[in-house]
Amino acid sequence: MSATNTPPAGGNTNRVGLTRADYDGAKTTLCPGCGHNAITGGIIQAAYEAGLEPHRVAKLSGIGCSSKTPAYFLGHSHGFNAVHGRMPSVATGVSVANRQLLLIGVSGDGDTASIGLGQFCHLVRRNVPAVYIVENNGVYGLTKGQFSATADVGSTAKGGKANTLMPIDLCALAIELGCGFVARSFSGDQKQLRPLLKAAFAHRGTAVIDVISPCVTFADHEGSTKSYAAVKEHDSPLHDIEYVPYFEDIHVDYEPGTTREVRMPDGSHIVLKKLASDYDPTNAEHAFAMLREARKDLKLLTGLLYVDPATTGFDEELRLVDEPLATLPLERVRPSRAAFEEVMRAHAEGSIGAPSGGG
């Protein structure tokens, strides 16, 4: 093992002996002030606090500003910057090949809600174990400011033109498709984002976090519903969130009846502290109703929208062996000579496979 893996003596290290700097990546090349950079910071901090082992993480993305960001965090994890809108299929392949990896996927609203909508839906539907972060700013940044499919009706482009088409709500869609962890957050609210990320790391299936992330260059003007000012004004958190990992014996006293707790399969807890009203994140119908109402009232509902920690991940669905398929030795994957000879015998004497029709 190389020297870089040796944790430094003393200093601020986490449970696996790494410093926060060990979770850094390359320097960002995005615009100064871009919401995505804040999310990158959130991922670094959350990974550090959760004590993720970088070699057990695979970072994935599609194409777009957001999809560049995996280069900017967890520099000691393997990364895969795929083609536009197709990160979900790559993630599925990686996950099936090595179920021991924690997959962190970063996508954007163009990458997910337009070109990649089909793959997004099928990833969620299969419940592939992966944290799927959408850095959602309602515009195509890299191609200079066209509307994306998550732009709100009435939101204007930099030139003043208003969007008239219905936005796609990726969270509502994910809940509809059976996703067991659906959250929405804001790049400017690290207090909310970090525990959501850490909880998502502990989820066994697909965890979707739609993070509203203002584009300072093309959507931060008056008239844009995803500007910093607009998001701050309309942000309506459902609850305050704390995440208590299984390895921390922290006990916080809350007034009875003021919190809800969600227990994750690894023994960690999500603690949701009630705000204005009591929100039950295990009730999908309630989530839909709230999202519909929020859209009507031009509110941005943030927090843990829906959670079902008991979902069956795709790896379990496939009944995969514990070890990564990728590195199974030959003797585990090449059947015996006896088995082979049995097949040959059947074809020398036995039935012929019948061709079928189709088109």
Q: Which of residues 25-64 bind other proteins (CB under 8 A)?
A: 54-56, 58, 60
The correct pick among 126, 204, 226, 234 for binding other proteins (CB under 8 A) is 126
Q: Mapping DSSP to helix (H, G, I), strand (E, B) and coil, where does residue 327 land?
A: helix
- Contacts of other proteins in 138-177 (CB under 8 A): none
User: How far apart, in whole angstroms, are the C-alpha atoms of residue 269 and residue 98?
Assistant: 26
Query: What are the strands, taking DSSP E only, across 152-226?
Result: 181-186, 206-212
User: How far apart, in whole angstroms, are the C-alpha atoms of residue 142 and residue 148?
Assistant: 12
Torsions phi, psi of 306, nearest 5? -150, 140
Torsions phi, psi of 236, nearest 5? -125, 90
The correct pick among 97, 142, 168, 275 for binding other proteins (CB under 8 A) is 97
- CA geometry: angle 43, 48, 53, nearest 5 deg: 100
User: How far apart, in whole angstroms, are the C-alpha atoms of residue 152 and residue 232?
Assistant: 16
The correct pick among 100, 258, 282, 283 for binding other proteins (CB under 8 A) is 100
* 171 HSE (CA, 13 A, CB side): 30
Judged by CB under 8 A, the stretch of 174-182, 184-192, 244-252, 311-319 that binds other proteins is 311-319
CB of 70 within 8 A of CB of 104?
A: yes
The total number of residues shown for the chain amounts to 359
Does 122 interact with other proteins (rule: CB under 8 A)? yes
Q: Return the number of the residue (55 or 292) whose C-beta is nearest other proteins.
A: 55
The correct pick among 13, 89, 114, 259 for binding other proteins (CB under 8 A) is 89
User: How far apart, in whole angstroms, are the C-alpha atoms of residue 267 and residue 235?
Assistant: 31
Q: Return the number of the residue (164 or 356) whose C-beta is nearest other proteins.
A: 356
Does 81 interact with other proteins (rule: CB under 8 A)? yes
Helix (H) / strand (E) element for 78: namely strand 78-81
User: How far apart, in whole angstroms, are the C-alpha atoms of residue 325 and residue 306?
Assistant: 32
To other proteins, the closest distance from the beta carbon of 342 in angstroms equals 9
Does 15 interact with other proteins (rule: CB under 8 A)? no
To other proteins, the closest distance from the beta carbon of 279 in angstroms equals 33
Does 92 interact with other proteins (rule: CB under 8 A)? yes
Does 358 interact with other proteins (rule: CB under 8 A)? yes
Does 110 interact with other proteins (rule: CB under 8 A)? no
Q: Return the number of the residue (82 or 291) whose C-beta is nearest other proteins.
A: 82
Q: Return the number of the residue (174 or 264) whose C-beta is nearest other proteins.
A: 174
Q: Return the number of the residue (251 or 337) whose C-beta is nearest other proteins.
A: 337
Q: Return the number of the residue (306 or 314) whose C-beta is nearest other proteins.
A: 314
- Contacts of other proteins in 229-288 (CB under 8 A): none
The correct pick among 41, 88, 129, 237 for binding other proteins (CB under 8 A) is 88
To other proteins, the closest distance from the beta carbon of 147 in angstroms equals 24
User: How far apart, in whole angstroms, are the C-alpha atoms of residue 193 and residue 248?
Assistant: 19
The correct pick among 33, 118, 154, 267 for binding other proteins (CB under 8 A) is 118
User: How far apart, in whole angstroms, are the C-alpha atoms of residue 240 and residue 242?
Assistant: 7
The residue among 168, 210, 188, 201 whose CA lies nearest residue 304 is 210
To other proteins, the closest distance from the beta carbon of 9 in angstroms equals 18
DSSP-derived letter for residue 347 is: H
- Contacts of other proteins in 61-80 (CB under 8 A): 70-71, 75-80
User: How far apart, in whole angstroms, are the C-alpha atoms of residue 135 and residue 111?
Assistant: 10
Q: Return the number of the residue (159 or 350) whose C-beta is nearest other proteins.
A: 350
